[in-house]
Amino acid sequence: MKKRHQQKLVILAIGLVILLNVPIIVIFNIPKAVFGIPVLYTYLFVVWFFSIIITYIIIKRHA
C-alpha cells in the first residue's frame, strides 16, 4: 500500500477521534429524535456509516 493511501487512512482515523468525542458530540446532545432514532445516536451512526464509505473508497482506489 502506498504511503499516500496510508496517510489518508491515518487522517480518517484522526478525524474519527475528533468527530466521535468531546466536544463535538456534545453539539448533538439533545433529547430529540429523527425517525424515532435519538439525535445523538443518529449522529454517531451517520459518522460511523461515512467512515465505512470513505475507507471503502480509499481502499478501492488503491486496488
Partner 1 sequence: MPNYALVAVIVGYLTMLFGLGIWAEKKSSSRWVHNPWVYALSLAVYCSAWTYYGSVGIAATKGISFLTTYLGPVVALPLWIIVLKRVVLISKQYQVSSIADFMSLRYGNNRSIGALVTGICVIAVLPYIALQLKAVSETFSILSTGQESQSLFTDSTFYIAILLAIFVALFGTRTVDASQGRSGLVFTVAVESLIKLVFFLIIGIYTTFYLFDGTIDIYNKMEDIKGFEKLITFQNIESTINWYFMIALSFFAIFLLPRQFQVSVIENTSASHLKKASWVFPLYLLLFNVFVIFIAWAGKLLLSEDLNPDYYTLYLPLEHGEKLLGLIVFLGGLSSVISMVVVSTLALSTMISNNLILPYGFLKALNDKNPKRNARRIKNIRRIVIFTLIIGAYFFYLNFNIELSLFSIGLIAFVIIAQLAPAFFIGLFWNRGSALAAKTGIISGFFIAFYTLILPFIADVFLKDSNFTSAGPFGIEMLKPYQLLGLNFMPPVTHAFFWSMVFNVMFYMIFSVLKKGNYRERNYAEMVVNAASYGALQENAFVWKGQANKSDIENVLTRFLGEKRTKRALDIFFRKYKIDPKQEQGDARLVNFSEKLLTGSIGAASAKLMIGSVVKEQPVTLVEVLKILEENKETIHANKKLQQQSYDLKRLTKNLQDANNKLIEQDKQKDDFLDTVAHELKTPTASIRAASEVIADSDDMPIELKQKFLNNIVKDADRLSILINNILDLEKLSSGREIMNKTENSLKMTIHKAKDGIYQLALKKGVDVEIRIVEDINLMYDEDRILQVFTNLLSNSLKFVPEKNGKIIINSKIDGEFVVLSFEDNGKGIPIEDIDYVFDKFYQSNNQTIKKPLGSGIGLAISKHIIESHNGIIYIDRQFVNGARFIIKLRIT
Contacts with partner 1, residue ranges (CB under 8 A): 1, 6, 9-10, 12-13, 16-17, 20-22, 25-26, 29-31, 33, 35-41, 44-45, 48-49, 51-52, 55-56, 59, 62-63
Largest Cα–Cα separation, the chain = 44
Q: How far apart are CB 2 and partner 1 at their closest, in Å? A: 11
**Cα–Cα distance for residue pair 22/58, rounded to 1 Å:** 27
Q: Judge whether 16 and 46 are in contact, CB under 8 Å.
A: no
Q: How far apart are CB 44 and partner 1 at their closest, in Å? A: 6
